[in-house]
Amino acid sequence: MKNILLAEDDIDLGTMLKQYLELNKFQVVWAKDGSEGLERFQNGSFDLCILDVMMPVMDGFSLADKIIEINPEIPFLFLTARKTKEDRIKGL
């Protein structure tokens, strides 16, 4: 079973994503902000991180930078409502 770290502050979206992923045989650890996401990453083992870009305490890009320092091989998916070219490039 693949382990996913989901960092999403929106309760409705987080609940829906977690349920959907679990129905598809993924193990999901859900953090409600970037700081909690970093703590959970440090205390777990994950195959993929799904990060909301706009979160309180620590945004998804900052969280990704900190996770990369710990494990530079971990893949990411970013969730965002932002549409700017700069945000897309920063996500890459």
State the pLDDT at residue 13: 93
State the pLDDT at residue 56: 87
Neighbours of 42 (CB within 10 A): 10
Are 55 and 33 within 8 A, CB to CB? yes
Q: For the domain bounded by 3-91, which CATH number is listed? A: 3.40.50.2300
Which pair of structure tokens corresponds to residue 12? 């409705």
CA atoms within 13 A of residue 91's CA, in its CB half-sphere = 20
Name which residue leads in pLDDT, 56 or 89. 56
Residue-range domain boundaries for the chain = 3-91
Q: What percent of the chain has pLDDT over 90?
A: 76
Are 7 and 44 within 8 A, CB to CB? no
